[in-house]
Structure 1
């Protein structure tokens, strides 16, 4: 049983399927399917990669690629095939370096969007021009350049239809109406008790009338998900707290019945498994703090 600060992960937490994926992202589409993506390309995801792959499921149990053509293998977009500014390959420690990290899939404004980052080059945003998760996808940004120079991009749609771009360690900016660029400068959302909610893996969602800002942070070598909450999108945000142990660089989504879930992938040796896509139910305590749905009791 994985336990941290009286939080524990479900005893039966297992991968959704056996395929190397980091930074798991899931959304529910208007068509009733769940869609999953994340960092792929093992073992080269610390060197040079270029694919964005997407899977789908009607029940969060059985998953299949959205594209089944043998050579494409669920790949909906590729840097070398479809990219422009993303193709530049630099060097890190004397070896080629151009990974594609942490794509997220979002269903917004009647179509699907993919955020992603190319370290040292910046964030990108892709739009499905078919309205389907399999694409084809085109660069959504009006200028042929990154949306920001940072890593770990995400999107959040508020109740009024405004869409916000997030990245890095909690930076946020509202997008313009057609989502072709930012309508304002990025600003950093900070919890009351720390300089950031997490140093990477930022994600924002709204539940029970509050905005919940998540981020990933290493604590003693373990990769955790921390969350801070606010009544307003730009804050002020309260204290950050540990929400999902060993669940760093996750995101949260609701299923068809309204149940909240966290994604998971397992980064370190104390996680129940490593670099495989997974989900776990979460709930809100009496202070509206997020925690795994299975809680350690005083008798345990």
Structure 2
């Protein structure tokens, strides 16, 4: 099996190199342009959505709340953009549209809450933006005055660009882990739709595990009981996609002993249904106490460390890709004193070998030129004019 995978990786690499020589190419990290033309330096926990209203493919990118530029300050501190939104027509060059919120949704999020890990989807004729609220307003918490009562919120819009209107109540409320201010980490939403049209919400993180639960038909609540699909204290950032009759769970994990930057990596398992169990190549369950998970994106000695928290998609030509954040070990922080990590946006190709995803030929985060994604299907005519 090892010999087969090595041969497959070599074949993938040869095809990628040939494609890069024959087509326009790009190199990680991807450029994110702000309104003044300068580059944003970070896009953690990226989420991707294609606009449903345009003939030509137009894509929107959503990032977690963070500083994005060394130049931007808010008084004596850093300016934190509340989930910045970018647009692209080629999946490589991105341009800032707006921030999802100008201020934290009042009555839903506490005044200093983080708004993290956006997940944008289209359903019921509208666009929905799910997101983590690290500290809900007291009226939604079983314990007032806590700063750790996290939840999943949602906002809606007629356009993937926004503006976004937050729902007044959480989709997933805070979940107790013990008495007082002890709560599970209700982080990192991910939404999928199955063949029957039912929608499922994945949520959770290291503190308590990762779960899946059916979404209500209006997308504003949950139905039934949660099912654990990721081990306690092991995984975060669930990303679930369907390919070839299987559901694949991509999830990020950190090594206990190496720290969140150098030990962070991406793992995968697969299942026959959205509720799992998700098993790795050796048949180990990702929800077990001794958690399974096949590595698919680990550091490789180049500039990139801490790669993960990804989104997976197909371009219009049918090729699979993953967007994810990573840390440049030469410039890891906006501010080491403030522990503000820079997490640029990376893009790598996914190929499927023997029923399993192989990212960047199995070599880890790429740092060299690769062929651009296909922006239209082979059957589609060239657009008459560029999208404004």
Q: Please indicate the TM-score interval, normalised by the length of the shorter structure.
A: 0.7 to 0.9
State the superposition RMSD in angstroms: 3.2
Higher helix share: 2
Match of 2:108 among 51, 63, 85: 85
3-state SS, counterpart of residue 46 of structure 2: strand
Q: Does residue 257 of structure 1 match 2:257?
A: no
| 1:1-300 alignment, distance < 5 Å | 13-17=27-31, 18-19=39-40, 20-30=42-52, 31=54, 32-42=57-67, 49=80, 51-66=82-97, 74-80=98-104, 82-89=105-112, 98-119=113-134, 120=148, 121-128=150-157, 130=158, 132-140=159-167, 144-145=169-170, 147-149=172-174, 150-169=186-205, 170-190=210-230, 195=231, 198-219=234-255, 220=258, 221-239=262-280, 240-245=293-298, 246-267=306-327, 269=329, 274-286=342-354, 288-295=355-362
Q: 1:252 to 1:284 in 2, by over 3 A?
A: same
Aligned counterparts of 2:307 and 2:321: Cα–Cα separation in 1: 12
Change (3 A) 1:214 1:270: farther
Q: Is the 8 A contact 1:35 1:56 kept in 2?
A: yes
Q: Do the aligned residues in 2 keep the contact of 1:28 with 1:255 (CA within 8 Å)?
A: no
Distance 2:233 2:312 in 1: 15
| Equivalent-residue separation in structure 2 for 1:201 and 1:256 (angstroms) | 25
Deviation string 1:21-62 (CA, Å, 9 cap, x unpaired) is: 211221223232111011142279xx9956122111111122
Q: State how many pairs are aligned.
A: 266
Structure 1 unaligned residues grouped into runs of 5+: 67-73, 90-97
In structure 2, distance between residues paired with 1:110 and 1:234:
26
Provide the TM-score with structure 2 as the length reference.
0.61
Q: What is the distance in 1 between the residues matched to 2:27 and 2:216?
A: 40
Provide, for residues 167-203 of structure 1, a one-character-per-residue CA deviation record: whole Å limited to 9, x for no partner.
114311011111121012222114xxxx369521112
TM-score with structure 1 setting the length:
0.77
Q: Which has the larger radius of gyration?
A: 2
